[in-house]
Amino acid sequence: MKRQASIQNVFAKKQSVNRPASDSAEVDCASNNVSSGVANIRVPLIQPQLRRTSTKQQIAVRGHRDGGGIGLEEPEKNDGNFRSLLRYRANSGDNDLQDQLMNSGGRSIYKSSFIQNELINTFGHLIQCQIVRNVRKFIFYSFLADETTDISQIEQLSLCVRYVEDQSYKIREDFLTFVPVYDVTSAGLANTVLETLSILGLDLKKMRGQGYDGAATMRGQFRGVQASIKEKLPLALYTHCSSHSLNLCLPDASNIPSIRNCMGVIKEICGFFQMSNKRTEILKSIMSDCCPEQKKKKLISLCETRWVEMLDSMFLFKDILESILLSLLKIEEESTGCCQLHITYLRSLKKIDLSQPIANVTSVLDLLSKQRVNANDNFKTMYTQIKEIAAKVDIKEEIPRVCRLQTVRNNVPYSTEEEYYLRAVYVSYLDDFCNSQKERFESHKETVASLQHILPEFCTKTDFYSLEAAFNFYEEDLSHKEVVQSEFMLWKEKWSQENSENLPKTAISSLEKCNKTFFPNIYILLKLLAVLPVSVATVERSFSSLRGFKTYLRNTISESRLNGLTLLSTHRDIKIRDEEVLDKFASVPRNLDVVL
């Protein structure tokens, strides 16, 4: 009873006049008898709890028929999860809720779809306000953006913000909102981004970074979104998503004819089996006999866009190569030769195990360079393994026909088959990958490379000259050059006395050990380094939430409801108290007073 009275006080805030003693007695009396004329608050009281739980678990609450009164008996038609949860709670011992559902009028029970949407919007607004307050405390921030088409064929632009929590020194990338866009030109997208961030309450002058994928509209150097924003905000440095950069290095390196043809054959064979249940069952049966220890019993399709995910497909294909060949032979015997082409392709595959070179791309460029230096020894081990696999499936060592003019074929000089594949495939792949990696990652400009020299791991080995490019770019955020140079000398001296094992390796660990009173400019440079975008994975994850809430059966969901549901589901760690939601809910003018 005390909790109910306290919640009534929250709703009573909208009353601007003091009630006489008789009215107070009437309210106290009405709280014991729901049918005495007081607008009931039991449903609004438990709605935030039900709404928070169902949204975080991505449970749809609206039903096809969710109007009218709520009885205690299950209806013939499905009236939605929310009404079912209310009915379950009322039948499980919540007498106040049961009385309200049975005795209150339709306008005072607060269970309509409009009230549900209002509570969802309230949750979303409070979460957004909390994120914006956290960003303002840290001052500097970067934003991440990407777009996708939802089930209703609406272009949705997802906006996320990257900042550092001021007290815990933890990098956060928080989803902010979805924005429907109809002008998908670079100028239109840039205006949409800036207007949305301004409406949310973020200071555009404190934006220090922008991150996108590699789409030409976003990254265009002269007319892209990043160029349009940088023209208005010169300090908003654009960085290409590192994950996409690494992902794009692999297609560049895989343009070698031998590797490209090999990938095409594997893709075609995977599709051949997956198009037929009968073929898949034949493969499963043969795999059970040949490799019973293998847990996966069917081929995995090669992902078109995420090359890292191809590893699983390539590893599995290599492990069950013998079973695949036996399955194709059995299918050929039972059919009219429809898979003869696949068998021919499979027997003519070049004896290169691409799983190991592909696994090596996750290493840094230095490691790949060492692999290139020791290419002969590394490839010899690989080639021995390849010959063992080839012997099991009766594949002979062959060298492609050498043509007179080198146009498509790679006519490298060789004395043995092993030397040919070493020079034509393995070394060529490593060279192309290293060159592509240098081009794409070194395009992250001299400013970022210069800014990294503020880290203790680097500053002890260099001087202020290495930091000068970063100082020139962020000059308006810093003090006079001589002051910054003096701070850098002190900062360098501070870490020169430490062992290399104890030096902080990241901007966050350096921030924790940086006295912002003694090193104010160093502190600012570390903050700037911490907020620069690294990847747009957070934006990609928001698309998963989008597809979870806006489905084929819920394709007319409003934009405000979609944003509220996504914010609630994504930010599970941001705690919003029920009293905050009810306070904001009660502050909105209504035709019917909440407390009479």
Q: 152 in a domain, yes or no?
A: yes
236 with 139, same domain?
yes
pLDDT of residue 22: 35
Nearest alpha-carbon partner for 177 in 564, 590, 488, 585: 564
Q: Are strands 207-212 and 237-240 parallel, antiparallel or unpaired?
A: parallel
Helix or strand or coil: residue 353? coil
Q: 173 in a domain, yes or no?
A: yes
* 219/203 Cα distance (integer angstroms): 23
For residue 190, the domain's CATH number is 3.30.420
Q: 586 in a domain, yes or no?
A: no
**Dihedrals φ, ψ of 562, to 5°?**
-60, -45
Both structure tokens of 474? 């962020």
Whole-number CA gyration radius for the chain: 32
pLDDT of residue 304: 64
pLDDT of residue 355: 26
481 with 510, same domain?
yes
Q: 19 in a domain, yes or no?
A: no
Instruction: Kindly list the distances between the CA atom of residue 88 and the CA atoms of 102, 116, 315, in Å, as whole numbers in the listed order.
Output: 14, 18, 50
508 with 551, same domain?
no
284 with 207, same domain?
no
pLDDT of residue 296: 78
Domain boundary among 508, 531, 554: 531
Q: 400 in a domain, yes or no?
A: no
What pLDDT, in 10s, does the model give residues 316-372? 888 888 888 888 888 877 765 455 545 554 444 433 322 232 333 334 466 667 777
Residues with Cβ < 8 Å from 13, sequence gap 6 or more? 583, 586, 587
Both structure tokens of 586? 């009660």
342 with 271, same domain?
yes
Q: 432 in a domain, yes or no?
A: yes
- Burial state string for 120-153 with b = 16 or more CB within 10 A and e = fewer than 16: bbbbbbbbbebbbebbeebbbbbbbbbbbebeee
381 with 427, same domain?
yes
For the chain, 596 residues long, the average pLDDT of each consecutive 10-residue run is 43 39 35 38 64 75 72 80 82 81 72 81 91 90 91 92 86 92 90 94 92 82 87 87 71 70 81 84 85 78 68 80 83 63 47 30 58 78 79 74 62 76 79 70 64 84 86 88 90 86 84 88 89 85 88 86 89 85 78 52
175 with 271, same domain?
no
pLDDT of residue 204: 92
571 with 549, same domain?
yes
180 with 261, same domain?
no
276 with 301, same domain?
yes
144 with 218, same domain?
yes
Its pTM stands at 0.72
Q: What angle do CA 485, 486, 490 make, to 5 degrees?
A: 115
Sheet holding 141-149, edge to edge: 171-181, 155-164, 141-149, 207-212, 237-240
Q: 361 in a domain, yes or no?
A: yes
Q: Are strands 155-164 and 171-181 parallel, antiparallel or unpaired?
A: antiparallel
pLDDT of residue 440: 64
Q: What is the largest CA-CA distance in the chain?
A: 108
Instruction: Kindly list the distances between the CA atom of residue 21 and the CA atoms of 11, 24, 31, 447, in Å, as whole numbers in the listed order.
Output: 19, 5, 16, 70
Specify burial of residue 4 (Cβ count, 10 A radius: 0-12, 13-18, 19+): middle
Q: 368 in a domain, yes or no?
A: yes
Enclosing domain of residue 93: 43-111
Q: Report the sign of the C-alpha dihedral through residues 353, 359, 365, 369, in that order.
A: negative
Instruction: Kindly list the distances between the CA atom of residue 80 and the CA atoms of 76, 77, 83, 102, 549, in Å, as whole numbers in the listed order.
Output: 12, 9, 6, 18, 15
pLDDT of residue 349: 40
Domain count, the chain: 5
pLDDT of residue 206: 92
Q: What angle do CA 466, 471, 472 make, to 5 degrees?
A: 105
372 with 347, same domain?
no
pLDDT of residue 305: 62
